[in-house]
Amino acid sequence: MTLRTIDSLGPLAGRKVIVRCDLNVPLKDGRITDDGRIRASLPTLGALVGAGARVIVISHLGRPDGTPDPKYSLAPVAQRLGELLGQSVAFAEDTVGSSAAEVAAGLADGQVALLENLRFDARETSKSDADRREFAAQLAALGDAFVSDGFGVVHRKQASVYELAELLPSSAGALIATELAVLYKLTATPTRPYTVVLGGSKVSDKLGVIAHLLPRVDSLLIGGGMLFTFLAALGHKVGESLLEEDQLDVVRGYLDEAERLGVEIVLPTDIVVASRFGPDAEHIVAPADGIENTPFGASGLGLDIGPDTAARFAEVIRASKTVFWNGPMGVFELAPFAAGTKTVAEALTEIDGLSVVGGGDSAAAVRVLGFTDEQFGHISTGGGASLEFLEGKRLPGLEILGWQA
């Protein structure tokens, strides 16, 4: 593997280094509910501070559609970042305006600043190469070097990810290097038995991952909303459960391919079926082939894998040496439908090998359910980027940093 690292930038003392982080943390009433992505940025930022660099952090938060919106301000992130770094973090109220210029110019060696949300400027995500390059040039004028460390955005060709890396001496940070080492092992050198656990809402979101990993794994466990398309492909009725009818033939093809390859696809044998969507909905455990044979009939709604399925999944996981998990097993945000996801998460903490949680909702789930990052081999900060890497896609934010597998 080749990738430009921070060492390639030479001595950094006294130089202004722009760092693209992924600080897209969840907020509720202006308060951060999960600071995992901020913590993940600390090794790179700490190393730059220790080297005497003048650090200018940039990031997006949410989808403000190219205009300033107070509810997407990074101000709470600046405060939390300062607490974690143990020093005050200056906050610029814009990205390339007078506030950013003033804050960047005022930094001393080893100090850190955070600029306001990149996506307050529509050029950051513009489809126009010229617009993105113009914005990137204004960002580049603030610094002397660029470190890309926001793994969650490397699959996007955006101004702060791609064009900025072209305009300044650039390298990857520690987080991206760690993510790549783990994901490369999942695709090229996994220790067997190798199990992939997929959940989440839609099977269409995971088609590329299934296709790319099916020849590489020993077991594939299917949960979440996507399981109902698999059950329907086998001829089972699924009531009002999430179903992608246009994917039935594709799923049947994967089932046939798995049989040909000798890969075990483990599907649920029981389902937690509810009368409706809600935390206080009536619910019952039903066989996977009997979802409509409950008191709720054809209006029944599957919201979690059942206890027998969860136990079977845990058994397969614990017997594995490498496990990649992406997507919750049910609607974990609602207590009655969180048990399947919790059982899977707990099993991942118990394996004798590498356990990887694939970012996004899975990362949120393990923290909401009371697990710590240290209980897993790796928690990815980039759900979409992780999936695209595992699909074998080219990621522009990595290629511009010299990435070659």
Note the pLDDT of residue 374: 92
List residues bridging with 147 in a β-sheet: 19, 171
Note the pLDDT of residue 1: 65
Cα 364 to chain centroid, rounded: 9
Q: What domains lie within the chain, and their CATH numbers?
A: 6-178 (3.40.50.1260), 190-389 (3.40.50.1260)
Cα 88 to chain centroid, rounded: 28
Catalytic entry in 200, 360, 382, 397: 360
130 Cβ partners below 8 Å, 6+ apart? none
- The single-letter code of the amino acid at 203 is V
Catalytic entry in 4, 37, 132, 342: 37
Cα 205 to chain centroid, rounded: 13
Note the pLDDT of residue 281: 96
The H-or-E segment that residue 81 falls in is helix 75-85
The count of other CB atoms within 10 Å of the CB of residue 279 is: 11
Active site residue 37: yes
Note the pLDDT of residue 360: 72
- The single-letter code of the amino acid at 352 is D
Span 318-348, pLDDT tens digits: 999 999 999 999 999 999 999 999 999 999 9
Please state the pTM of the whole predicted model: 0.89
Query: Does 312 count as an annotated binding residue?
Result: no
Note the pLDDT of residue 195: 98
CA distance 328 to 363: 9
| 272, 285 Cβ separation under 8 angstroms | yes
- 400 CB burial (10 A radius; 0-12, 13-18, 19+): buried
Residues of the chain with pLDDT under 50: none
Note the pLDDT of residue 384: 83
CA distance 252 to 135: 46
List residues bridging with 20 in a β-sheet: 58, 148
Cis ω before 193 (30° cut-off from 0): yes
**Two structure tokens written together for 345:** 């998460």
Span 352-393, pLDDT tens digits: 999 999 867 788 889 889 999 899 999 988 878 888 888 888
Catalytic entry in 202, 237, 318, 367: 202
Query: Does 61 count as an annotated binding residue?
Result: yes
Active site residue 360: yes
Q: What is the DSSP letter of 110?
A: T
Catalytic entry in 36, 66, 208, 384: 384
Active site residue 97: no
Note the pLDDT of residue 367: 87
Range list of H helices, 349-403: 360-368, 383-390, 396-399
Query: Does 14 count as an annotated binding residue?
Result: no
CA atoms within 13 A on the CB side of 113: 27
Residue of 269, 309, 312, 307 lying closest to 291 (CA atoms): 269
Q: Where are the beta strands (DSSP E) in 275-338?
A: 283-287, 301-305, 322-326
Note the pLDDT of residue 2: 87
| Sign, CA torsion 31/33/39/40 | negative
